[in-house]
């Protein structure tokens, strides 16, 4: 090869790299390892983690362990999807482009919104992008957060807004729901109101009123939704959302320690030229055959550079594919059954738990699959005790100081995967843990 290149040595090719900048040693990264050495090391690390199989988990708080049919893994691991790049050449990317179009279609159906993009990094950055969009189209620089929003989402929103000098103000909402009077006072001059439903502590709220208040002040309405709740509840479109975002990882992927995740971004049609990220549209090819392409590309960074609607390039296409396969397998009936089971089992658990001495449900309001329970002893003690019985009973709300929830509150989550035996066992374990 060197002969063809016309270089007498490999060193000659490196001529532009000044000698003193070249590393004169091997990196301190050890010897190459065989697959079975790698497997042994990584299996040992994985074994240190507490996961289903060893532990029964009731953790939620933005990450939900729903059942994933085997065909999702089988199809998404196909090399054709897995090792392809962004479909810049539509002629040899129709597989990916078509599945993204299907993904956008399913998401629009589920949320009732006019359109969905091809995905963003995660739910939190999807919210941040929605906030920036609202600020950009309204020319205003305040975002009002109404009711309990996932604290991590609030933090990411604040990070993205800080650079552009956008102020984020949040409703203190001590009773776990939106304080509409407070929001109304905060709305003048706001680019958007952000509300999550079901909210961070599990309560489902009708956002129609607060969104109408926003509209009256020319502020955009942004909902953080929960995809698995939508088969049963009013959609973001029903409630008048302009933009609706969420974490979609639980549609066909395991919790994955939180990532790679799947940012769902949906909007009303009027914002289509302002949305971040890729969008796939239908067209025809030279022979009149249906084809799919990335469209409205002039919004994107590689064309518009500093005037782009976002800097996003890489998205989460493979996770979007998994969500598409998942929703295809479950269909409307399966999606509804999953939602009903979450609902029924969560209420069964809440009723049983709150009937035990020292336990109560501190927040009023309808919930879907998550609820807060007050424990007779500090939550961290209860969690430590339960862990000894191989149960992860919930999230200690003191991990989110901004909620000011006190020391004795656990956020508990139930999915369709829990059996009645799991739920009864949790009640027993928590009672035991409370006794110490």
Residues in 118-137 at the binding interface with other proteins, rule: CB under 8 A: 118-119, 121-125, 132
- Looking only at residues 193 through 232 of this chain, which bind other proteins when binding is defined by CB under 8 A? 204, 206, 230-232
Q: Confirm if 293 and 90 have CB atoms less than 8 A apart.
A: yes
- Looking only at residues 14 through 43 of this chain, which bind other proteins when binding is defined by CB under 8 A? 14-18, 21-23, 26-33, 35, 38-39, 41-43
Pick the closer one to other proteins by CB: 150 or 184: 150
Question: What span, in angstroms and rounded, lies between the C-alpha atoms of 5 and 184?
Answer: 71
Q: Confirm if 241 and 113 have CB atoms less than 8 A apart.
A: yes
Backbone phi, then psi, for 124, in 5-degree steps?
-65, -45
Residue 98, classified by CB atoms within 10 Å of its CB into exposed (0-12), middle (13-18) or buried (19+), is: middle
Question: What span, in angstroms and rounded, lies between the C-alpha atoms of 251 and 59?
Answer: 17
Out of 90, 137, 361, 427, point to the residue binding other proteins (CB under 8 A).
90
* Other C-beta atoms lying within 10 Å of the C-beta of residue 180: 14
Out of 55, 189, 217, 361, point to the residue binding other proteins (CB under 8 A).
55
Pick the closer one to other proteins by CB: 80 or 139: 80
What are 260's two structure tokens? 């790679």
Q: How far is the CB of 2 from other proteins (least distance, A)?
A: 8
Q: How far is the CB of 3 from other proteins (least distance, A)?
A: 10
State yes or no: residue 4 binds other proteins (CB under 8 A): yes
State yes or no: residue 8 binds other proteins (CB under 8 A): no
Question: What span, in angstroms and rounded, lies between the C-alpha atoms of 247 and 229?
Answer: 12
State yes or no: residue 376 binds other proteins (CB under 8 A): no
State yes or no: residue 281 binds other proteins (CB under 8 A): yes
**Residue 182 contacts by C-beta under 8 Å, 6 or more apart in sequence?**
171, 172
Out of 172, 181, 188, 258, point to the residue binding other proteins (CB under 8 A).
258
Cis peptide, bond prior to residue 344, ω within 30 of zero = no
Q: Confirm if 275 and 253 have CB atoms less than 8 A apart.
A: no
3-class DSSP state of 107: helix
How many Cα atoms within 13 Å fall on the side-chain side of residue 400?
20
Question: What span, in angstroms and rounded, lies between the C-alpha atoms of 103 and 265?
Answer: 11
Backbone phi, then psi, for 370, in 5-degree steps?
-130, 145
Pick the closer one to other proteins by CB: 263 or 376: 263
* Segment near other proteins (CB under 8 A); pick from 184-192, 336-344, 354-362, 370-378: 336-344
State yes or no: residue 358 binds other proteins (CB under 8 A): no
State yes or no: residue 341 binds other proteins (CB under 8 A): yes
Q: How far is the CB of 185 from other proteins (least distance, A)?
A: 25
Out of 83, 139, 357, 436, point to the residue binding other proteins (CB under 8 A).
83
- Looking only at residues 405 through 424 of this chain, which bind other proteins when binding is defined by CB under 8 A? 416, 419-420, 423
State yes or no: residue 336 binds other proteins (CB under 8 A): yes
Pick the closer one to other proteins by CB: 187 or 204: 204
Q: How far is the CB of 140 from other proteins (least distance, A)?
A: 16
* Segment near other proteins (CB under 8 A); pick from 78-86, 186-194, 370-378, 427-435: 78-86
Out of 176, 236, 248, 255, point to the residue binding other proteins (CB under 8 A).
255
Q: How far is the CB of 333 from other proteins (least distance, A)?
A: 6
- Looking only at residues 181 through 200 of this chain, which bind other proteins when binding is defined by CB under 8 A? none
State yes or no: residue 167 binds other proteins (CB under 8 A): no
Beta strands at 370-374 and 263-267: parallel, antiparallel or unpaired: unpaired
Beta-bridge partner residues of 282: 292
Q: Confirm if 179 and 172 have CB atoms less than 8 A apart.
A: yes
Sign of CA dihedral 272, 273, 277, 283: positive
State yes or no: residue 169 binds other proteins (CB under 8 A): no
């Amino acid at each position: 090869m060197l002969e063809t290149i016309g270089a007498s040595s490999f060193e000659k090719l490196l001529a532009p790299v000044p000698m003193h900048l070249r590393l004169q040693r091997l990196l301190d990264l050890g010897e190459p390892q065989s697959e079975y050495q790698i497997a042994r090391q990584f299996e040992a690390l994985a074994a240190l983690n507490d996961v289903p199989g060893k532990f029964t988990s009731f953790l939620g708080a933005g990450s939900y362990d729903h059942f994933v049919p085997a065909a999702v893994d089988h199809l998404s691991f196909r090399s054709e999807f897995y090792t392809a790049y962004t479909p810049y050449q539509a002629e040899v990317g129709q597989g990916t482009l078509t599945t993204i179009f299907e993904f956008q279609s399913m998401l629009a159906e589920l949320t009732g919104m006019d359109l969905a993009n091809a995905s963003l990094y995660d739910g939190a950055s999807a919210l941040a992008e929605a906030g920036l969009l609202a600020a950009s189209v309204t020319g205003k620089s305040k975002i009002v957060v109404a009711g309990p929003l996932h604290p991590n989402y609030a933090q990411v929103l604040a990070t993205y807004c800080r650079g552009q000098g956008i102020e984020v103000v949040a409703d203190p909402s001590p009773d776990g729901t939106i304080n509409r009077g407070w929001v109304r006072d905060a709305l003048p001059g706001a680019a958007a109101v952000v509300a999550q439903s079901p909210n961070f502590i599990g309560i489902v709220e009708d956002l129609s009123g607060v969104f109408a208040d926003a509209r009256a002040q020319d502020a955009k309405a942004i909902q953080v939704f929960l995809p698995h709740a939508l088969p049963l509840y009013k959609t973001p479109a029903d409630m008048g959302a302009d933009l609706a975002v969420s974490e979609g990882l639980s549609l066909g992927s395991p919790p994955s320690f939180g990532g790679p995740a799947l940012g769902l971004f949906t909007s009303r049609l009027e914002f289509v030229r302002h949305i971040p990220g890729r969008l796939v549209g239908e067209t025809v090819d030279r022979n009149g055959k249906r084809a799919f392409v990335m469209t409205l590309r002039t919004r994107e960074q590689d064309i518009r550079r500093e005037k782009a609607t976002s800097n996003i390039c890489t998205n989460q296409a493979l996770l979007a594919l998994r969500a598409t396969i998942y929703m295809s397998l479950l269909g409307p009936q399966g999606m509804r059954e999953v939602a009903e089971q979450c609902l029924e089992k969560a209420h069964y658990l809440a009723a049983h738990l709150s009937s035990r001495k020292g336990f109560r449900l501190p927040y009023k309001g309808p919930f879907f699959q998550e609820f807060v329970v007050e424990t007779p002893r500090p939550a961290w003690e209860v969690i430590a005790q339960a862990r000894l019985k191989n149960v992860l009973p919930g999230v200690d709300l003191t991990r989110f100081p901004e909620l000011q929830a006190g020391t004795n509150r656990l956020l508990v989550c139930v999915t369709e995967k829990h059996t009645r035996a799991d739920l009864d066992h949790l009640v027993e374990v928590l009672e035991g843990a409370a006794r110490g």
